Homo-oligomer: A and B are copies of this chain.
Amino acid sequence: MSKPIYDRVALIGLGLIASSMFWAMKRANLAGKVTGYARSQETRDTARRIGLTDRVCDSAAEAVEGADLVVLAVPVGAMGPVAEAIAPHLKPGATVTDVGSVKRHVIDAVAPHIPEGVHFIPAHPLAGTEHSGPESGFAELFENRWCLIVPLPGTPDTEIARLRALWEAMGSNVDEMDPDHHDLVLAVTSHAPHLIAYTMVGVADDLRRVTDSEVIKYSAAGFRDFTRIAASDPTMWRDVFLTNKDATLEILGRFTEELFALQRAIRQGDGQMLFDYFTRTRAIRRGIIEAGQDTAAPDFGRVKPRE
């Protein structure tokens, strides 16, 4: 077995992402010893029961003590307070990273708390499911998915390379990006689509003439996919929208503009406009399949959870 990449790792937050990281690190022996901490007694009890981390601690301070890598895996809005709480306990020379879905806000909230001599290297694995909590993770989650590292100026290359090596060993492809660009790209590819899916499912729920049970019973492909997206964790997504406000609102503005143009085409019976539009969007799909981010097969290249 190869030597671990980090000797001691601390996972702060024990949900989908942290638990998947733990199983992925364990499988490939990437960490010597992993400690974990979650806010609630319930999650800590579950983690102890299923063997999630080598030692579950009752405080974040205790968990980070002596850690070479500290992973902040809590909702984006909780990153600042968590960083503040652990800051006095961080080992000199340690790396703090996070997995938050928004980067500018996390940097602004976390960086001021990081002591001299500790490296803060923000990151974001582009991998997830609609499930959450300590029992939702599985070692394969990051396989063939991108992880975007968003290094701050002045971070030693060796420490960036080490974090990159960890993500690569968990199966990810790694790229570097600057925080504002990250937040805009993610607003397009993830944040706006999630808000739209939430909205459409909300509309269906509101309709009194089409009863709930019928909408559910006959939910065809389009809507079924939306409901899955709209089943994602409410806390996580509330924080994403509140902390990536500008980019999300800009993309939603453009979306509304385009939607109005398509609605007008429907109202006016402009079949050519609709046909051309739908032909253009088809090409993007081909690009995604060719880029290997999805497959043409009907399980859509999704990873299978453990068990």
Residue A168 at the B interface, CB < 8 A?
Answer: no
Residue A59 at the B interface, CB < 8 A?
Answer: no
Residue A155 at the B interface, CB < 8 A?
Answer: no
A157→B245 CA distance, assembly (Å) = 58
Known A-B contacts A196-B259, A202-B277, A215-B185; the reply to A304 vs B293 at CB < 8 A is: no
> Contact partner of A267 among B221, B230, B231, B249, CB < 8 A?
B249
Residue A285 at the B interface, CB < 8 A?
Answer: yes
Within 8 A of B (CB), among A188-222: 188-207, 209-210, 212-222
A209→B251 CA distance, assembly (Å) = 12
Residue A302 at the B interface, CB < 8 A?
Answer: yes
A287→B204 CA distance, assembly (Å) = 13
Known A-B contacts A199-B255, A238-B274, A277-B198; the reply to A221 vs B229 at CB < 8 A is: yes
A259→B199 CA distance, assembly (Å) = 6
Residue A282 at the B interface, CB < 8 A?
Answer: yes
Contact between B284 and A266, CB atoms less than 8 A apart:
no
Residues of B close to A249: CB separation below 8 A: 263, 266-267
What range describes how many residues of A lie at the interface?
Answer: 35 or more
> Contact partner of A223 among B190, B201, B266, B274, CB < 8 A?
B190
Contact between A234 and B190, CB atoms less than 8 A apart:
no
> In the complex, how many angstroms separate the beta carbon of A210 from the nearest chain B beta carbon?
5
For A255, the closest partner residue in chain B by CB is B203
Within 8 A of B (CB), among A240-264: 241-242, 245, 248-249, 251-252, 254-256, 258-259, 262-263
Q: Can you list the 7 inter-chain pairs with the closest CB atoms, starting with the nearest? A: A193-B222, A234-B278, A231-B285, A299-B299, A190-B220, A230-B281, A201-B281
14 contacts between A and B (CB under 8 A): A126-B218, A146-B217, A189-B222, A193-B226, A197-B222, A201-B281, A203-B258, A212-B284, A215-B284, A219-B293, A222-B229, A224-B294, A227-B288, A230-B278
